[in-house]
């Protein structure tokens, strides 16, 4: 269900009035990370505290669009996809919303496996089966030459906010995790290695190399064709995992996939 309109659309909030701004809700295969290939319902919230220049969900960050949906309606729509045992809460940044907590509790009560796709800047105490954390590197900054909308107005705010070691440490300690880095080229590697070491020093639990995943940057097959082999070879060189972008390989940049 792609949602391109603005609020409410006549939806009735549930008794406690909780709603979430939903950009799209669809059934697909998990395209990224350790659970790649798993049939999953994706719930994509709108709104983000960062502005990566390459954001593949432009209408949740740079120009957010959504309909406010009640949690009842979201859960009902998730349940309508009868073959899915996995739900992926993504965005935008889903953890900026207080109501994400109630949604995850309800999904957990119903026995779903929940993955949360997060940029790792916010920790919340909530039932999450896999915290899929994608910390943002310096190369994600929307500098004037890369800004998809303006002239670099977000670059400084983005850079100030993109890493919060306390939040990363808590996420790693409390949940099963994967650290999924978007790689734009070999120059990203020293920062990834330093950050992984910083997270290891901050967290109490062990962060094995097998929980560190390198994902090529790219929103189309053509873009991925240019860098997937280089990123795969970087993963081999460093002993980290490689993750494809299966949905892009299968369906390119089609919405709702």
Ligand X SMILES: C[S@@+](CC[C@H](N)C(=O)[O-])C[C@H]1O[C@@H](n2cnc3c(N)ncnc32)[C@H](O)[C@@H]1O
Residues tagged in the binding site annotation for S-adenosyl-L-methionine: 54-56, 92, 134-136
With CB under 5 to 8 Å by kind, the binding choice for 29 among ligand SF4, ligand 2KA, ligand X, none is: ligand 2KA
* Given 91, 135, 216, 244, the residue binding ligand SF4 (CB under 6 A): 91
- DSSP SS3 for 248: helix
Smallest separation (angstroms) from ligand 2KA to the CB of 194: 25
Strands (E), the chain: 19-29, 39-45, 67-70, 86-90, 113-118, 130-133, 177-183, 212-216, 241-242
Among 48, 69, 89, 116, binds ligand SF4 (CB under 6 A): 48
Picked from ligand X, ligand 2KA, ligand SF4, none, the partner binding residue 257 (CB below 5 to 8 A depending on kind) is ligand 2KA
Peptide bond into 92 cis (omega under 30): yes
Q: Which helix (H) or strand (E) holds 82?
A: none
> Which partner, ligand 2KA, ligand SF4, ligand X, none, binds residue 180 by CB below 5 to 8 Å per kind?
ligand X
Tokens (6 digits) for 24: 């799209």
As a whole number of angstroms, the longest Cα–Cα distance in the chain is: 54
Residue 31 or 120 with smaller CB distance to ligand 2KA = 31
178 binds ligand 2KA (CB under 6 A): no
Interface mask toward ligand SF4 for 135-154; x: CB under 6 A: -x------------------
Cα–Cα distance measured from residue 37 to residue 115, given in angstroms and rounded to the nearest whole number: 14
CA dihedral angle for residue 161, residue 162, residue 164, residue 170, rounded to 10 degrees = 130
Closest CA to 179 of 219, 208, 141, 158: 208
- Shortest distance, CB of residue 109 to ligand SF4, whole angstroms? 27
- Chain residues binding ligand 2KA by CB under 6 A are 28-32, 42, 57, 88, 90, 117, 247, 257
- Chain residues binding ligand SF4 by CB under 6 A are 48, 50-52, 55, 57, 60-61, 91-93, 119, 136
């Amino acid at each position: 269900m792609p949602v391109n309109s603005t609020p409410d659309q006549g939806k009735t909030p549930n008794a406690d009035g909780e709603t979430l701004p939903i950009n799209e809700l669809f059934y697909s295969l998990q395209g990224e990370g350790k659970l790649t290939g798993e049939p999953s319902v994706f719930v994509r919230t709108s709104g983000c505290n960062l502005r990566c220049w390459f954001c593949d969900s432009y209408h949740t960050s740079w120009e957010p669009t959504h309909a406010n949906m009640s949690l009842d309606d979201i859960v009902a729509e998730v349940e309508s996809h009868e073959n899915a045992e996995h739900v992926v809460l993504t965005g935008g940044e889903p953890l900026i919303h207080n109501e994400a907590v109630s949604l995850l509790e309800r999904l957990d009560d119903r026995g779903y496996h929940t993955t949360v796709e997060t940029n790792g800047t916010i920790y919340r105490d909530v039932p999450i089966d896999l915290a899929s954390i994608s910390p943002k590197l310096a190369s994600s900054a929307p500098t004037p030459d890369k800004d998809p909308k303006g002239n670099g107005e977000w670059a400084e705010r983005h850079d100030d906010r993109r890493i919060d070691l306390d939040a990363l440490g808590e996420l790693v300690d409390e949940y099963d995790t994967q650290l999924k880095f978007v790689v734009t080229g070999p120059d990203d590697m020293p920062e990834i290695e330093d950050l992984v070491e910083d997270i290891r020093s901050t967290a109490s639990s062990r962060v094995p190399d097998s929980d560190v995943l390198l994902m090529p940057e790219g929103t189309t097959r053509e873009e991925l064709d240019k860098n997937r082999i280089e990123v795969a070879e970087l993963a081999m060189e460093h002993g980290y995992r490689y993750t494809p972008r299966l949905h892009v390989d299968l369906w390119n940049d089609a919405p709702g996939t």
